[in-house]
Chain A
């Protein structure tokens, strides 16, 4: 079949909401875009374990410690499903990990911010997972089948994490003066980076148009960001805290919250590697990988010995 016909059939499937599966014909750019996005998403889950992992040994109660451990473990699990989904597009996990470590592949910039106090753990759950969910709920309907299915599973766990994060902040917001201050300070530091998670403005976004046509994305960056602001601006009232934006106010005409301008210079700086923890996060991932090398080699060597024994016995 000529390529034009294949492309036409492919687009028809997408228009008719039929999922694209690994063995289906797909345009090379579709495969590449999905591979880039899914592997980036997998890397974000794995790098995202670091800022929260930072507080596991210091969690303030046994219950909070158990919740945090389980949460970070969930993220490792998300990383696994996503690597598997990405592998269906023809790249192995080792190669993806090498691309992360060499800096060729990106991960979400949000994880380049430090977790300075315990309240940051609640703020990450509420704001960062909250922002991620906006994007991920949309992705449960993305056109690539394995990605959409991974997202259904991930979304369930993420919304649980978001509730836990909010609940943890709620306790702080009703606590001592120091706890309230800790809570507000964490919100102040995480609010703007959380808004940046939706990416550049639609007018500046390089991948958006084609991704919408292929239904990889189904809502624009600005739409998702607005939904997020509308949600959080209400929830923050329950905490009795404020968002650090003097321009934030309800717009009766638009039926949405207006909000201030994001510091795009900071956004691009962090993307380019100059965030507070870019180096530390990548160093930590590389160190774990390098120090794990002998372990992986030993496991392979042992498996090979056992396979040889079985062959001899047969």
Chain B
């Protein structure tokens, strides 16, 4: 049983098991990436892309809500908002990758691409999961995820093979984010019972990333070379970014506890 750190305001009962933890992990990653993308709303490089990134933010928020609602059902005596708004930095289980700051358009679309491509192969397996509800949520999300991959992948190619500046910015984004990708494929305790073949996802993911990077004239991944990978997000040890995200996200629920909005 995974130990969860309890806090006075937390509405997550200590009975949270592997399945609940796993679903919360999926929910948290979607919510935090949605949050990051939503920071672009009104500030995008061109109006059409402002709309596109907000769309992806909305899709991820919708997916997060499906997962939180399901987790709430399993945990009992809680709801989607309590799970999103009243858990602490040490209780959130999202991937470190998704909490990394926007920095610029290159880092934003690369973060999306690296995540969506992973999410796609993960959901491909999840949609056959013994947990029918989880399988249904994953299946429903695939159509959106395909669009996210196409949109963000096209941007990786466009910026990689655009101007010298955009190419340099892509390299910078890869340098910033690459060390956070390994975590996706290293299962923690609660993931081991989910019946996912992470080695397979890693191979599929690398193959796709290499295809897109090569079209983008960016150096491809040499999987035989060992690069240090940061871990910890999935068990609640985050980068300093998450505390600020939650401060924003949870401000009203924390300031005025227990009311309807």
Contact = CB atoms under 8 A, between A and B. Distances in A.
Interface in B37-61: 38-39, 41-51, 54-55, 57-58, 61
13 contacts: A49-B42, A58-B252, A61-B253, A62-B64, A62-B81, A76-B54, A118-B261, A171-B260, A293-B45, A294-B166, A295-B166, A298-B166, A305-B161
B54 to A, nearest CB: 4
B200 interface: no
B114 to A, nearest CB: 19
A62 B46 CA distance: 27
B158 interface: yes
* Central interface residue in B31, B51, B68, by most chain A CB within 10 Å: B51
B261 A61 contact: yes
Contacts of B173: none
Interface in B145-174: 157-159, 161-163, 165-166, 169
B256 A179 contact: yes
Interface string A54-90: 0011111111111001101100110110010000000
Contact of B61 (A62, A76, A178): A62
A64 to B, nearest CB: 6
- Chain A: interface secondary structure? helix
B206 interface: no
A176 interface: yes
Contact of A57 (B35, B54, B84, B85): B35
Contacts of B45: 288, 291-293, 295-296
A284 B163 contact: no
Interface of A: 46, 49-50, 53, 56-66, 69-70, 72-73, 76-77, 79-80, 83, 118, 168, 171-172, 175-176, 178-179, 284, 287-288, 291-299, 301-302, 305
A198 to B, nearest CB: 25
Contacts of B64: 62
Interface string B54-93: 1101100110110010000000000011001100000000
Given A60-B252, A60-B253, A72-B41, A298 B162 contact: yes
Nearest to B54: A73
A58 B256 CA distance: 13
Nearest to A295: B45
B105 interface: yes
A62 B84 contact: yes
B54 A302 contact: no
A52 to B, nearest CB: 8
Contact of A297 (B58, B85, B163): B163
Contacts of B165: 294, 297-298
B261 A60 contact: yes
Given A66-B61, A69-B57, A295 B159 contact: yes
